[in-house]
Amino acid sequence: MPAASTTLRMLAVSVIASLTVTGCQTLDDAGRAIGRADLVNDVAARLDGALELTYSADYQLPGGQTATIVQAQEPARSAYTWPGGKLTVTPEATTRCETAAGRATCTLEAPPAPNAKPSVALFTEAKQQGLVTPPIVVGLLTAAALDPDAVITQSDTTLAGRHATCVDVERSSGDFIACVTTEGALGSFTGQVDGKPVELALHRYRETVDATAFALPSGAGVVDRRTTTS
């Protein structure tokens, strides 16, 4: 595995069962033959399906820092908060906020098309600051499922009181462990993303959303780019 904090990995992955998928197929607990792609795609589909859930998830990052992912439905909207920044995606706008010298500056841009999933490109800044979002992890899992040389190990764990399935992937392009809760929320991630070590672990999960989760930071300066001039 990439160089990473042993403490956070112990928090993220407390294995209670293990299943190795190194050949074309193996057996699950019920004796059913499953392939590498089936295993990884099942976890990725669970994570992708969580876009239809309402929940709030708080994560521990290295160095005592924290991050949050919040989602709500009707209308569908999401918010991602990390040290020094925030991204919200709502039917009204896609909003990126950065905090410097204690003051936030937010840029409003057009929202995604109705029923469209947010582009992975939206999460570049969050990724650079240590928050690996579900769309990024789905992409990594999909690539692993297509790699015939990948060594993939499944395990089960408990994170923030929630059961989670973990996939430990060893690839020439970079190893990682991703855990996804039964509900579909990202439980933990430890590995390399764009050549940079990244870690996070779920420490609180709620099936409710605070009313202010999608609001701009207090006192933020606002640049609205949604309106174009001819």
Question: What does pTM read for this prediction?
Answer: 0.79
Give, in degrees to the nearest 5, the angle at Cα 112 between 219 and 226.
50
Instruction: Give the CATH H-level superfamily of domain 6-224.
Output: Lipoprotein localisation LolA/LolB/LppX (2.50.20.10)
pLDDT string in tens for the chain (230-residue length): 443 343 333 333 332 233 333 333 333 443 333 456 777 888 888 988 888 899 999 999 999 999 999 999 998 899 999 998 999 999 999 999 998 888 899 999 998 887 777 777 778 878 878 889 998 999 899 888 888 888 888 899 999 999 999 999 999 888 999 999 999 999 999 998 888 899 999 999 999 999 899 999 888 999 999 875 44
**DSSP string for 49-91:** HGGG--EEEEEE-GGG-EEEEEEETTTTEEEEEETTEEEEE-S
Measured from the Cβ of residue 3, the count of other Cβ atoms closer than 10 Å reads: 6
The SS3 assignment for 168 reads strand
Candidates 205, 175, 199; CA nearest to 61 is 199
